[in-house]
Amino acid sequence: MSSASIVKDRGLRAWWSRSERKVVPYVFISPFYILFIVFSVGPLIYALYLSLHRWPGTGPMRHVGLGNYTYLAGDPVFLKSLWNTVYYAIGAFLFILPLALVLALLINSTLIRIKSLFRIGYFLPILTSTVAATIMFLLIFNNEFGLINQGLASLGIPALKWLDEELVKISVLAIVTWRYTGINVLYFLTGLQSIPPELYEAAQVDGAGTWAQFRYVTIPQLRPIALFVGVVTMIGSFQLFAEPLLLANGGPNDSSLTIANYLYRMGFTNAKLGYGSAIGWVLALIIFGLSFIQLALFGAFRKED
Amino acid sequence: MDSTLTRRAQRTLAYGFLFFILISMATPFVWMISNTFKEQSEIFQRQPTLIPEEPHLRNYVSLFVDFDFHKHFLNSAFIAVVHTFSHLFLASLAGFAFAKYNFPLKNFLFLVLLGSMMVPLYTIFIPLFVLVIRLGLVNSYAGVIIPGVAGAFGIFFMKQSMEAVPGELLDSARIDGASEFRIYWQIALPLVRPALAVLAVLAFMGSWNDFVWPLVVLRSRELQTLPVVMAGMVNLYRMEYGVVMAASLLSTLPILLLFLALQKQFVQGLTVGAVKS
């Protein structure tokens, strides 16, 4: 080794021992940012670019300006999928959240002693994959031999067509409610258990009854958790995919189709990559917009007082 | 007297409601299990039978013989295990950096990290697929695993527990001449083992149950994971219900067993987002 390279080596070592602690954190966090830029930011921008073009996946792209977006606004199937998705989101709010809150309140109350049986029991459905969960319900909702219709028949009630246009969305919502109620019970329970007991004691001293305590202590104290649960439920409902696909193939007559299902159909089945990307961006804007509204409604942007 | 009576009535009502919901939720599970032992004709008959009239295992045999269930099971297991270990490594390393170092742009970078959780999968779905094709990763496990391996949630989660690691411990290792990576690997990591277990359970379940992304990436059947193959078995016009139910049951079993073994980790992991909000 020449003396010059020894000096250089020493210099490098000295530099490293001086700067290791400054450089190392960037090295440690870099895998995330590299992957995030390559696999999220890049595709996000590329999706915007694609959405301004007509492209079947191979060959040249044709610039169409906002053509895909204006076409979307008048596409009856897209509008149907948008309505269906909104229906699922509203349904999730109306079915899952009140049910989960009531169950959590009951489990948390002094009336109930065997709490963990219910906590754990309600939780189990979230462990299934969306595919396995939907498959289970094929035997529940089948128009001819589903368990519900068999049950109705044994009571002498005529069968209902659970997978036909009128009821299929309710069936999808039932699967979603089944799968997600338990996890929301846990969220609410976490919220309820973090309410300081002194607040209830103080309310009792002030002569508040059970209802007044619920109204003036429990509800306001649950605000942060309610915001979290609301945002998660909304984002989840707007990205429903497997349940309508496997239960009814998005049908009949697109009556259970979600935005995600339609995006998949356009982008992958029909190879309209530009159009599919436009659907994706509309979906993102809806999700961002609704998240923002929820945060604003719950006062998350207000300064703590 | 009167108030104890109403309290008893309230209690009965409360238990009644909780049990009613519990039974409703258990029904699809129980019904699925019962039907895995039935002949197609018995599934189709008007009068439902909870205990199969002539229970048999032919559905399970068919699942392995006709559908290579074991191969797809191993595919799912392989992907889930590789994903889990890579994710734990990357998330704990970055979490350690955010918790235990001060560096320029740290707060900004952390905000970017939190913001990355807002990107909806379906918005980047199509371009991501194009990218994966261009990178030659389509129809490979690498294509399934790499895009989602460094999830922001895991980093956020590990940062929380890394913050509890005492700084003096790290400093004394530095005085002994340990490299920063070694400090992370030999001192910090063993101390956050409980958090790693929670994150492992979440990562494994997420990967095991994942459907949409493996569905588009894995084209050839012999590479496909359980949810993808099971979705392919669902043919609404001609379907072997007993076989499909057996697949659904067996695919859920590993997570169920994992849950029974590590209940606390599951519950903690799935509610952590709510607590931290």
Domain count, chain B: 2
Chain-chain contact of B277 with A225 (C-beta, under 8 angstroms): yes
Element (H, E) at B52: none
Are B188 and B162 contacting, i.e. CB atoms less than 8 angstroms apart? yes
| Residues B28 and B155 placed together within one structural domain of the fold | no
What is the DSSP secondary structure assignment for residue A127, as one 8-state letter?
Answer: G
Any chain B CB within 8 A of the CB of A97? Answer: no
Q: How far is B255 from chain A (nearest CA, A)?
A: 6
CATH of the domain at B254: 1.10.3720.10
Chain-chain contact of B127 with A22 (C-beta, under 8 angstroms): no
Residue B277 has pLDDT above 50, yes or no: no
Element (H, E) at A53: strand A53-54
| Residues B265 and B191 placed together within one structural domain of the fold | yes
Chain-chain contact of B267 with A151 (C-beta, under 8 angstroms): no
| Residues B18 and B132 placed together within one structural domain of the fold | no
Chain-chain contact of B248 with A259 (C-beta, under 8 angstroms): no
Any chain B CB within 8 A of the CB of A227? Answer: yes
pLDDT, residue B46, reads 74
Any chain A CB within 8 A of the CB of B212? Answer: yes
DSSP string for residues in chain A: --HHHHHHHHHHHHHHHHHHHHHHHHHHHHHHHHHHIIIIIHHHHHHHHHHTEE--SSS--EE-TTHHHHHHHT-HHHHHHHHHHHHHHHHHHHHHHHHHHHHHHHHHSTT-S-HHHHHHHHHGGGGS-HHHHHHHHHHHH-TTT-HHHHHHHHTTPPP--TTSTTTHHHHHHHHHHHHHHHHHHHHHHHHHHTS-HHHHHHHHHTT--HHHHIIIIIHHHTHHHHHHHHHHHHHHHTT--HHHHHHHTT-STTSS--HHHHHHIIIIIS--HHHHHHHHHHHHHHHHHHHHHHHHHTTTTSPP-
Identity of the residue in A135, A249, A284 whose CB atom sits nearest the CB atom of B123: A284
pLDDT, residue B149, reads 92
Any chain B CB within 8 A of the CB of A21? Answer: yes
pLDDT, residue B45, reads 77
Q: How far is B187 from chain A (nearest CA, A)?
A: 16
Residue B11 has pLDDT above 90, yes or no: no
Q: Give chain A's mean pLDDT.
A: 88
- ipTM exceeding 0.85? yes
Chain-chain contact of A39 with B128 (C-beta, under 8 angstroms): yes
| Residues B138 and B46 placed together within one structural domain of the fold | no
> Which pLDDT band, with edges at 50, 70 and 90, does A241 fall under?
very high
Distance CA A279, CA A262 (A): 8
Give me the domain span that covers residue B237. 59-276
Q: What is the pLDDT of residues B178-227, one digit of tens each?
A: 899 999 999 999 999 888 988 898 899 999 999 999 999 999 999 999 99
Q: Which residue does chain B place closest to A194, by CA atoms? A: B275
Residue B50 has pLDDT above 90, yes or no: no
Q: Which residue does chain A place closest to B208, by CA atoms? A: A129
Chain-chain contact of B231 with A117 (C-beta, under 8 angstroms): no
Which of B112, B126, B215 is the mutation pick for testing A, counting most A CBs within 10 A?
B126
Region B228-255: what's the mean pLDDT? 88
Q: What is the pLDDT of residues A146-203, one digit of tens each?
A: 888 888 888 888 888 888 888 999 999 999 999 999 999 988 988 888 888 888 888 8
Angle at A151 between CA A146 and CA A157, to 5 degrees: 110
Any chain A CB within 8 A of the CB of B40? Answer: no
Domain A68-297 is found in CATH 3.40.50.300: no
Give the whole-number percent of chain B exceeding pLDDT 70. Answer: 95
pLDDT, residue B62, reads 87
Scanning the structure block, which residue is given the tokens 């040249």?
Answer: A60
Residue A257 has pLDDT above 90, yes or no: yes
| Residues B44 and B72 placed together within one structural domain of the fold | no
Region A10-27: what's the mean pLDDT? 83
Chain-chain contact of A136 with B245 (C-beta, under 8 angstroms): yes
| Residues B238 and B103 placed together within one structural domain of the fold | yes
Residue B236 has pLDDT above 90, yes or no: no
| Residues B195 and B114 placed together within one structural domain of the fold | yes
> Which pLDDT band, with edges at 50, 70 and 90, does A304 fall under?
very low
| Residues B19 and B100 placed together within one structural domain of the fold | no
| Residues B51 and B160 placed together within one structural domain of the fold | no
Domain ranges of chain A: 3-51, 68-297
Specify burial of residue B271 (Cβ count, 10 A radius: 0-12, 13-18, 19+): middle
Chain-chain contact of B271 with A190 (C-beta, under 8 angstroms): yes
Any residues with CB less than 8 A from the CB of A144 and at least 6 apart, and which? A159, B44
Q: How far is B165 from chain A (nearest CA, A)?
A: 16
| Residues B192 and B259 placed together within one structural domain of the fold | yes
- Of A4-13, A158-167, A180-189, B68-77, minimum mean pLDDT range: A4-13
Chain-chain contact of B124 with A50 (C-beta, under 8 angstroms): no
Any residues with CB less than 8 A from the CB of A129 and at least 6 apart, and which? B208, B209, B210, B211, B226, B227, B251, B252
The token pair at B137 is 């990763």
Total-model pTM = 0.89
Nearest CA to A232 among A297, A294, A281, A280? A294
Q: Give chain B's mean pLDDT.
A: 89
| Residues B169 and B130 placed together within one structural domain of the fold | yes
pLDDT, residue B1, reads 45
| Residues B207 and B100 placed together within one structural domain of the fold | yes
A 151-210 residues with CB < 8 A to B:
151, 153-154, 178, 181-183, 186-187, 190-191, 194
